[in-house]
Amino acid sequence: MGVTTFDWLDFGQGRARFSGSIRGADERGHETFAVEANGAEYFGEIDRAFLLNGNDYNMEIVSFGYTDKEYVSAPFPSARAKFTPADLEVMQLLICSLIEAVSKAAEKPYIMGEYADAHFMGKVIFREGWALVLSTSAAEGQTT
């Protein structure tokens, strides 16, 4: 059996999946994905970044780290977790692995749909400020 649209996919350091469309805190529609790592689940927003031809696209990670799917697009900082730079590397790897795996699947979520004149071009872009970074001084005070 192949990958279906909203399956969790395991990638060693965690797992990830597309989690569908929602009406966000801003009352607009958002396409979401989820990553589970270090025993916690985080949600993010994904969108198409169209190329100059207006048809082909790459995938753009708009925001990430929401602790509840319903918080996606919420403007208050407490809706999102903060990550160390090392954690963000793992999250980026999981997100890129998810997109790569799903791009090869027969069944794709709406956001990754391809048509005769519109194709995913294989690049994942992380928008500036896509995730909140734990300050270095705060990270040094943490114990694991």
What's the confidence (pLDDT) of residue 35?
98
For residue 94, tell me if it sits in a domain: yes
DSSP state of 118: B
The domain containing residue 52 runs over which residues? 9-137
Write out the DSSP string of 79-107.
GB-EE-HHHHHHHHHHHHHHHHHHHTSSS
* Segment-wise mean pLDDT, segments of 10 residues, the chain, 144 residues: 76 94 90 95 97 97 95 91 96 97 90 92 97 74 48
What's the confidence (pLDDT) of residue 3?
64
For residue 55, tell me if it sits in a domain: yes
What's the confidence (pLDDT) of residue 64?
97
Here the tokens at position 46 are: 């994904």
Q: Are 58 and 120 in contact (CB under 8 A)?
A: yes
Domain count, the chain: 1
What's the confidence (pLDDT) of residue 126?
98
